[in-house]
Every structure is written in structure tokens, then in C-alpha cells.
Structure 1
Amino acid sequence: MANLSVFVPILLALFIKEGEPVRCWTCSSDQNPLCNDPFLAGRSDNSSLIRLENCDSNAGTTYPYLASTKSVCKKMKKYINGQLIVSRGCTWKHQDDYSTSCPRASNRPNEITSFCETCEYDGCNGAATVSKTITLLAAPITLLLFK
């Protein structure tokens, strides 16, 4: 049974897909109220209004300096002229940046950023979900507890 505890992390590592582009929800609550919180992307009545965008699809032409960066999803809450705007979309960070903080956000005179967070797996900037990291850590621990 001890061999199983060594084998499980190796198996999990095989399922981690490095190098594939991340797909993020892309919308803004000032243009689409369905983008606001709570975010209900799975509802059938808004499936054509809110979409998952392949963040790397235009990166080479739009951002040619991004050779040492990776695409990540972003969720931002910003007050513009006193109105709360929730936006979701793609952004880029340095390859070795594993934090959840956003790249430096510039505030314009009438804008105040109240929240900004990044994540690195498909659809993670939508509704609150269980983190993949927690899930990956919980699987081997659960196997060890129930052996």
C-alpha cells in the first residue's frame, strides 16, 4: 500500500496540462448585467451572451513581447464614477509569477479598483469553485486516510 502513495502523485502529474492556453470568461457588467456577481455562466439563457475565450488566440499579434509570460484569467471589481463594474477576462503575467494578484492596475481619475485576482485554469474567473490545488492535494491525503 505504500507504493500507492508514491504512484498517485505521479498519476496526477500526468493529468496536469502545462502549455495549453487557458480559457477565461470574458464580459463586463456595464455591457452585460449577467457578468455581475453572482456569476451564472451555466444558465441556458445567457450561453450566447457570455463566452469562454481562448486567451492565447491573439497573443502573438496583439502582444508580441509576451515570450516570457503566460496567459491567466482575471476578475476585477472597479468603481467608475461611483458605479461598480465587474469585469472578467484574460491578462498576462510573468512565467514565474504564481501569485493571484493582478499585474499592476492603473487607476484613472474616476476609477478605483476594489478587487482584482488572477487564476490559471479554464473558467476559474467565474463563480466560486473549489481550487484545483486543493483538489489535487486532497486526493492523495484521502487515499492515505482510507488505506
Structure 2
Amino acid sequence: MAILNINYLIISFFLFLCFINTGDSIQCWYCNSRNDPKCADPFDNSTINMKNCAFEQSLSHYPKVKATMCRKIRQKVHGEWRYFRDCAYLGEPGIGGDERYCLMRTGSYNIFVEICTCVGKDGCNSAVSLQIHALILILIIGNIFAKLI
């Protein structure tokens, strides 16, 4: 009987851990295609790290604004494409909140800029990102412990 209660306690503890809110932070890919060609599209994150935007320093000209989103910037200057991926301080995710759309701007002297801002999930400033849902994690842990009982 005591072993059964310990198993329930362990299962309850792991379920509790699944629902802990870690705060409003997002992890974003951080790279520049000038330094790493894998940063360009198609994006190859095999050598690129993510960074937690919650640890980003405030900008001197916006001291109270925190980085809460991810951003991918694609720009063409004088015929050369560059890609930047980083945390974002300002902006709106997508256009009208729809992250499938990016803001595009053109200028004189053959300049084109596309800015994609997102907040939907960690690593959303890439083409593909994998994410395990808490419910799947609960089912896996529950299945493991059910076999132990």
C-alpha cells in the first residue's frame, strides 16, 4: 500500500512540473548570414544556437522595453541578400497578428527589406521548429508509471 502511494506521489510531482509557467520568455535563433551562410534560406540550424530573449539587455533608447518576440530580417542591398535572426523588442507578430505574413519595404538604390516577427513558439524565426506539447509529455510519463504499478 505504501509503494502505491509513493508511485502516485511521484506521478503527481511530474504532472505538477509539466504545468509550471516559466514566465514570458521566448527563445529565438540568433545568426547573421554574413558570418554564417547557414542562416540564409533555406535555414540550417545545425550550427546555430538559440538564445533566451528574457536575458537580453534593454536598449539604451528604449530602456523599459523587453525582447518578447523573435524576428527574421531578409534584406537585399545592391543585389546581395542578407539574413538576420534575433530577438525582437518592438513590432507586431506578422501583419494584423497573423504570423504567416511579413512586413515588406522597398527603397531607392535597389534596397528591399522583409521583416517577419513572431511570438507563437520558441524558434519561430526559422522555417521549421519542433515542440513537444505538455499533454503528450503527461501521457508518456503516465504510461511509464502505469507499467511500474
- Pairwise same-fold verdict (TM > 0.5): yes
TM-score normalized by the length of structure 1: 0.56
In the TM superposition, 1:29-108 aligns within 5 A as 29-41=33-45, 43=46, 46=47, 50-60=48-58, 62=60, 63-66=62-65, 71-93=68-90, 98-100=97-99
Give 1:122's aligned amino acid: D
Quote the RMSD (CA, aligned, Å): 3.8
Question: Could you report, residue by residue, the CA deviation over 1:77-99 in whole angstroms, capped at 9, with x for unpaired residues?
Answer: 10022101111111123699845
* Counterpart contact for 1:25–1:126, Cα < 8 Å: yes
Q: TM-score, normalised by structure 2?
A: 0.55
Partner of 2:122: 122
Larger radius of gyration: 2
Q: Provide the C-alpha distance between the structure 1 equivalents of 2:21 and 2:92, rounded to a whole number of angstroms.
A: 15
SS in 2 for 1:78: strand
Give identity over the alignment, percent: 28
Q: Which has the higher contact order (CA 8 A, sep 6+)?
A: 1
Kept in 1, the 8 Å contact 2:103–2:115? The answer is no
Q: 2: CA distance between counterparts of 1:131 and 1:105? A: 32
Q: Unaligned stretches of 5+ in structure 1?
A: 1-13, 136-147
Partners of 1:105 and 1:65 lie apart in 2 by 27
Kept after mapping to 2: 8 A contact 1:74/1:102 = no
Number of matched pairs: 114
> Structure 2: 5+ residue runs without aligned partners?
1-17, 134-149
